[in-house]
Amino acid sequence: MDKILELDRANLTMLVQAGRYYAAGGGCSFDRWTVLSARPGSMKISTIGGNVAENSGGLRGLKYGVTRNYVMGMEVVLPGGEVLWTGNKCVKDVAGYSLKDLFIGSEGTLGVITKGSAATDPKPQAKKTMVAKFREMDRAAEAVSAIIAAQIIPCTLEFLDRMTIHCVEAYAKIGLPLDCEALLLMETDGHPAAVAEEAAQMEKICRDKGCLELRVAKDDAEAAKLASARRAAFSALARVSPTTILEDATVPRSELAKMVRFVEAVAKKYNLRIGTFGHMGDGNLHPTFLTDERNKEEMHRVEEAFKEIFDEAIRLGGTITGEHGVGLAKKSFLPKFAGDAQMRVMRELRRTLDPRAILNPGKCSIDGSASKCRLRQQSERRRKIS
Amino acid sequence: MDKILELDRANLTMLVQAGRYYAAGGGCSFDRWTVLSARPGSMKISTIGGNVAENSGGLRGLKYGVTRNYVMGMEVVLPGGEVLWTGNKCVKDVAGYSLKDLFIGSEGTLGVITKGSAATDPKPQAKKTMVAKFREMDRAAEAVSAIIAAQIIPCTLEFLDRMTIHCVEAYAKIGLPLDCEALLLMETDGHPAAVAEEAAQMEKICRDKGCLELRVAKDDAEAAKLASARRAAFSALARVSPTTILEDATVPRSELAKMVRFVEAVAKKYNLRIGTFGHMGDGNLHPTFLTDERNKEEMHRVEEAFKEIFDEAIRLGGTITGEHGVGLAKKSFLPKFAGDAQMRVMRELRRTLDPRAILNPGKCSIDGSASKCRLRQQSERRRKIS
């Protein structure tokens, strides 16, 4: 189930079977068009069906949104075996409820997605990549706010905290500075004139906000090198300890620096190692716990730290998961986030579409079943890639 | 219920009560940001609650999408009186089912939307407006395809057919050419350099495709004058006959010229007057019947013509309604469009959320009740504005 079923060059849509990897055959693009520009970070190991069922995000959320923004239609097999098609190639369609949007992000609990059709964007003509180094996370966050206030919407605004920078440098030896609290990887893309102007403005804003150093990539090769620090973040953190638990608590952009500081304080309180990196433009951060699941006492502290982090994300108006989903690992946190009314409606929807709860049983806490097995939770966590 | 409840300048969202008109207080924008850039065509007479419940489209669908793309959160009162909040200020949020997306476009049949929060876009720095005149609709459609194939995504690509041009000229006397089959109103916006280049390319493409005449607006005043032909289309058609029935059959962009020709053939077959205008970039067209609801015999022909037009839209992979909704007028066409599986799921969702069918009863054919009253259907149609 990994075939491209249709490339529609007139309407610029691509229809694929759900088992196809996003990055198969050169990255889900044709001619000079990018399919599903949100482009999940896990594109090499994630399937289109998974991207749709999860409503995958990625490194480009601020400018290019998420998977939902690109899905035009899908085939879904319902629990009783009935095959349903929802959506079409029309940008506008308001005939009846948008079932497509109900299935997107439902984590396989309402139906099994077997085909998906996605819209495309023109590949940008130009791109500029730069990395800025800040002594303090708050200065980096201020720079991001000032960039957006200047009406620049960069395609990438990624950050690495001190722990992540040190791990990446130890792992990849790419010459990262070790004397700073935050690295900011920024990319702007589009028309060459706009990109040149925006890059110059972004550079000026970062300098005005007191960045210690800023490097602008001269060409694609240097851009790839600068971006490699961010791409290596998870692998670099993962090699430090036997167990790596990657989370994706997410807050409104205005609260990001506050949330990063809170994660640091929690790490200190529970005597844990947490590296944090993520998507500064859209408030989606990845606190990554470096731990060992065989150490029961430490794992208990990890669980306690999690609870505090998710509680704080909710308190700041955020969410317990920006792009990775609820699955098993976060099902106990969903009721607090969603509240009684939403939980009741979600459970009723699940019961309506899958009355015997045979689809992805036990996930999302929506069928009310208890957590199955801690080990399964952990292994699920380890597999997650930002 | 028409207050602005929050303007969040850090996260660039606006929270309003549902009864607020979209265009109230200068058009739903703040500072240099546009709220809900999809911008419904009916913005002067439509409320934000209505826009969300309908998933309103507009003249800018190809580039700026529809209402769904901008809604961040909403308050909904459920049929039992329970108040539910769904969504937040995070670009990414995959915690549980996206109830927000189920309520968007549900036409008030699942809950009453009382507050809505929307995202914003930077106001474009530059805009260029032009009008091209084509002897044949197919040439206009080819020009549109060629523009998009050149990776230009204009914010506006509107067309008027011969009947509409004649009515607009008789009504507004703005000097429109009467010897052509299609007028194409095009606008591109964004960075000044990109806009200048794109406008030049669009002009060249139109001339290559044999356009008879092309006017580029020199300034905002001339742009407004050129755009006025499209804005006047519905009013101009409406004054010709006692009853105006505006439809919004929608097809994939590649099928638009075929669909316009089909509408013309149907008009001839049933001896009816139909003016067609609409959104060429997103395949959303507005065949507008100029008729008299007191003439029972003619109204019968109108109904027959409708059936053929909707059948053809479905056959071409389109939808029975791109942006106006099902309501009463199109409920009998929904089952054929949606198919048995979707209809069953929609009815079950309705029964689950509103078991006594007290919300907007009889709409969308989703509660299975029969059409109420032909007169109500007609008056609903008359009120619709593209």
Q: What is the pLDDT of residues B119-133, one digit of tens each?
A: 999 999 999 999 999
Nearest residue on chain A to B318, judged by CA atoms?
A90
Could you tell me if A279 lies within 8 Å of chain B, comparing CB atoms? yes
Q: Is A61 on the interface with B (CB under 8 A)?
A: yes
Least confident of A284-293, B166-175, B214-223: B166-175
Q: B167 to chain A, minimum CA–CA distance in Å?
A: 27
- Read off the pLDDT of each residue in B349-374 and give the average, rounded to a whole number: 74
Q: What ipTM does the predicted assembly reach?
A: 0.93
Cross-chain CB nearest to A102 (options B97, B320, B339): B97
Point out which residues pair with A35 in neighbouring strands.
Answer: A120
**Are the Cβ atoms of B90 and A284 closer than 8 angstroms?**
yes
pLDDT along chain A (386 residues), means of 10: 93 94 80 87 90 93 94 97 97 96 97 96 94 93 93 94 92 86 95 97 96 93 87 88 94 93 96 94 94 96 96 97 94 95 96 94 65 37 39
pLDDT at residue A363 in the model: 82
pLDDT of residue B57: 93
pLDDT given at position A46: 92
Distance, C-alpha B56 to centroid of its chain: 6
The predicted model gives B285-302 an average pLDDT of: 96
Q: Using the predicted structure, report yes or no on whether residue B183 has a pLDDT greater than 60.
A: yes
Portion 68-87 of A in contact with B at CB < 8 A: 68-69, 78, 82-86
In B173-292, where does DSSP find H-type helix? 192-208, 220-231, 233-238, 256-269
Contacts 24+ apart (CB under 8 A), B3-6: B5/B115, B6/B117
3-state secondary structure of A373: coil
What percent of chain A is predicted at pLDDT more than 90? 77
Sequence-separated (6 or more) residues with CB below 8 Å from residue B260: B137, B141, B161, B276, B285
How many CB atoms sit inside 10 A of residue B348's CB?
14
Residue B246 CA to residue B26 CA, distance in Å, equals 27
pLDDT of B3 > 50? The answer is yes
- Determine contact: B11 vs chain A, CB below 8 A: yes
Q: Is the pLDDT of residue B137 over 80?
A: yes
Cα–Cα distance for residue pair B185/A359, rounded to 1 Å: 49
Q: Is the dihedral of CA B370, B374, B379, B385 positive or negative?
A: positive
pLDDT value, residue A365? 64
Nearest to B296 by CA among B286, B287, B304: B304
Judge whether B234 and B166 are in contact, CB under 8 Å.
no
Contact between A69 and B66 using a beta-carbon 8 Å cutoff: no
> Above 80 in pLDDT, residue B364?
no
Could A284 and B96 be called an inter-chain contact, meaning their C-beta atoms sit closer than 8 Å?
no
Distance CA B23, CA B34 (A): 11
pLDDT for B151 beyond 70? yes
Predicted confidence at residue A382, as pLDDT, reads: 42
Q: Are A273 and A240 in contact (CB under 8 A)?
A: yes
In this prediction, residue A28 carries a pLDDT of: 79
Q: Which two tokens stand for residue A158?
A: 């990624």
Flag if B252 and A364 touch (Cβ within 8 Å). Answer: no
- The one-letter amino acid code at A8 reads D
Q: Measure Cα distances from B152 to A29, B148, B347, B363 in Å.
A: 17, 5, 41, 39
Predicted pLDDT at A261:
92
| CA gap B42, B56 in Å, rounded | 9
- Rounded CA-CA distance B355/B350 in Å is 7
Q: For position B327, what pLDDT does the model report?
A: 94
Q: Is 80 exceeded by the pLDDT of residue B156?
A: yes
Question: If you average pLDDT over every residue of chain B, what do you get?
Answer: 90
pLDDT for the residue B365: 64
* A98/B94 touch (CB, cutoff 8 Å), yes or no: no
The answer, yes or no, to whether residue B7 has pLDDT greater than 80, is: yes
Average pLDDT estimate for B94-117: 97
Q: Please report, as a single letter, which amino acid is at residue A12.
A: L
Q: Tell me what pLDDT residue B367 has.
A: 64
